[in-house]
Amino acid sequence: MPTLNDILILLPEFYLVAAACLLLLLDAFMKPAQRPLLHWISIAVLLVAIYLVIAGQPDRAVTAFGGMFVRDDVAEIIKVFALGTTAMIFVYARPYLIDRKLLGGEFYTLMIFAVIGIMLLVSAGNLVTVYLGLELLSLSSYALVALNREAKLPSEAAIKYFVLGALASGMLLYGMSMVYGASGMGGTPTLELAQLSHVMGYTTAPTLLLFGLIFMIVGIGFKLGAAPFHMWIPDVYQGAPTPVTTFVAAGSKLAAFGMAYRVLADGMGDLAQHWQLILAVLAVLSLAIGNLVAIVQTNLKRMLAYSTISHMGYLLLGLSAAGPEGYAAALFYAICYALMGVAAFGVILAMSRAGFECEEIADFKGLARKAPWMAFLMLLAMFSLAGVPPLFGFWAKVLVLEAAIHADMLWLAIVGIVFAIVGLYYYLYVIKVMYFDAPEEGGALQVQQDKPLRLVLSLNALSLLALGLYWGPLLAWCRRAFGV
């Protein structure tokens, strides 16, 4: 039976489950004219959840339900930013959903259930909790991608995402079963991550353990969108409604980092010498494929999809360092990418309207003349994604490269620097189109007049500059979480 202490430790998660169920009931009984209120209620729900996470922050790591759930600084940081970015996505999504007649309770409840999945995943202390959190996030995401049932492309993207996601989940579960079996060879079988970290010292089946590790890395690589497990990303990014794409780009990557840290660092820490090189190879493949294929894209959402693959390569640079400094740098990078991705897709949402998705790079021709402020916000997002100083993205890249060098992986840092230079091209091309190309005659460019969207988007993009100039406190928070 759960104790009062267990319930208090999971209070933010229990609160969100209750709130999501309440939103479903409100959506069912509200009159059509009242349903826009769901938007503001949903944002309030997320803001209260952020307060509960911060207010209930323990002084040290605590566990609940027999160690299945862990609440520590790492989990709290990821939860705060996952909830915060989702609240921003709600603000950005409202005009888009209204224009396409998609504004309804299912969008908000599915998003909140996906966030609950993230929160469970990053607090997992047991392989069962890892899988439960992952599936809650994944199933909600599949449904969100297919939100626009009248359009062909979202349904196609959702089917691809579902099939490949099911395959990756199966491989992850198969790997977990191998690890569980190996833990019972010479000792008591266990699914607890804290106990699995010592399996290599006593198991009589090390080969089985290593095979399980490889299958679990495949599942992690899929959720990160790292090459060669990236096949779903371009189609899902392009096919999904843009608010959903924004969530997949930001929220799911925070979750994937949390999952990788829990499984590899907490659970497979003694096998670091084996998974370190595997992650380094995935990082190189992601940097190469992501940056080179992004160059030839004409669709901005597909370009940002391949950009995501390259950014996951940089995140893997930090993880492959296999130490507290590398983990802190990777967490810092995941937060940075979430804010940059939300800002870039936020501009696309601000320029979209009914019948015009504004997702081709050519659609941004002459934006600086028609909407100079929106062009400036996109410029900040593109420069930060490219890693141009003094913006936020520059410091994130520097820190993961530094972590790789300190882990005696200079060759990997050099690869990262080379592809950072390659990646400049496609980001600068977007800026060139906005500032130097003439707008098309009778062009469809028109900025949404939604004031909350414009205000939050401006703060989001300007934060990339502010955090680039004053990134120390956030880095200190990330490092403190790992005891650096």
Peptide bond into 390 cis (omega under 30): yes
Domain residues for 386? 4-481
- d(CA 35, CA 51) in angstroms, rounded, equals 25
Q: Which among 312, 370, 361 has a CA at the least distance from the CA of 341?
A: 312
Please state, in angstroms and rounded to a whole number, the distance separating the CA atoms of residues 137 and 144: 11
Residue 187: predicted pLDDT: 76
Q: What is the number of structural domains in the chain?
A: 1
Give the pLDDT of residue 159: 93
Residue labelled with tokens 């004053």? 470
Q: Which segments in the chain show pLDDT lower than 50?
A: none
All residues at 6 or more sequence positions from 431 whose CB lies less than 8 Å from its CB, including other chains: 378, 379, 382, 383
From the list 290, 297, 343, 342, the residue with the least C-alpha distance to 316 is 290
**Ramachandran bin of 41, using left for φ above 0, alpha for ψ from -120 to 50, beta for the remaining angles:** alpha
Instruction: Please say whether the beta carbons of 121 and 134 come within 8 A.
Output: yes
Whole-angstrom distance between the N-terminal and C-terminal Cα of the chain?
37
Token code pair at residue 183: 């833990």
Q: Tell me what pLDDT residue 444 has.
A: 60
Residue 289: per-residue pLDDT: 95
Give the single-character DSSP code of 200: G
Q: Note the pTM of the prediction, 2 decimals.
A: 0.95
CA distances 455 to 347, 350, 461, Å, are 12, 11, 10
Give alpha helix (H) positions in 391-471.
392-406, 410-436, 451-469
356 forms beta bridges with 353
Reported as type and span, the H/E element at residue 69 is: strand 69-71
Which residue do the tokens 């100039």 mark? 469
The span from the CA of 358 to the CA of 346, in Å, is 12
Taking the CA atoms of the chain, what radius of gyration do you get in angstroms?
Answer: 22
Burial of 272 by CB count in 10 Å (0-12 exposed, 13-18 middle, 19+ buried)?
Answer: middle
Mind giving me the DSSP string for 31-88? -GGGTTHHHHHHHHHHHHHHHHHHHT--SS-EEETTTTEEE-HHHHHHHHHHHHHHHH
Q: Which strand (E) or helix (H) includes residue 155? A: helix 152-183
Say what the pLDDT of residue 105 is. 83
